[in-house]
Amino acid sequence: MIALIQRVLESKVTVDAELIDMIGGGLLVLLGVRQEDTVSDAKYLAAKTANLRIFSDDEGKMNLSLLDNGLEALVVSQFTLHADTRHGNRPSFTEAAEPERANELYEEYIQEMKELIGRDKVHKGTFGAMMKVKLVNDGPVTIILRSKNDH
């Protein structure tokens, strides 16, 4: 499982020009699920995300997490994070989980995040939809997290 995490001042997701959800400051999480991923991968990655210290403290050092400052997370499913581009120019997505399984683990990740940082602090896109994601990156700070099952 891969989470591409961007520290944002704001972010929103729309489908067919309809606002699905949005956050002020916090993290935009693009989440990709692989075939081999399990519930333990989702829980592990959610804990890493919630505790990731990439927000500045009073001294300007990246030393605070979502848990420390009460910010929000917007989680968007993105199977393309598992693109294999080693052969040719057309990406292969054979390592990405099938939609039903990917959605189960996407929801598991979101549920775990809600338990860690608060139900009202976790927002999400629409699984499987063609979404437009807008963000104002803060920094910019972009981090890639991988579950223990992702190489």
Catalytic site includes residue 80: yes
Global confidence as pTM = 0.95
Q: What is the rounded CA–CA span in Å between residue 106 and residue 83?
A: 18
pLDDT band of residue 148 (cuts 50, 70, 90) is confident
> Could you tell me which CATH number the domain at 2-146 has?
3.50.80.10
Q: What is the pLDDT of residues 55-111, one digit of tens each?
A: 999 999 999 999 999 999 999 999 999 999 999 999 999 999 999 999 999 999 999
- The answer to whether residue 150 scores a pLDDT higher than 70 is no
The pLDDT of 31-41, averaged and rounded, is 96
∠ at Cα 127 (125, 133), nearest 5°?
Answer: 35
Q: Which amino acid would we find at residue 70? A: G
Q: What is the rounded CA–CA span in Å between residue 100 and residue 60?
A: 42
Residue of 14, 38, 49, 80 marked catalytic: 80
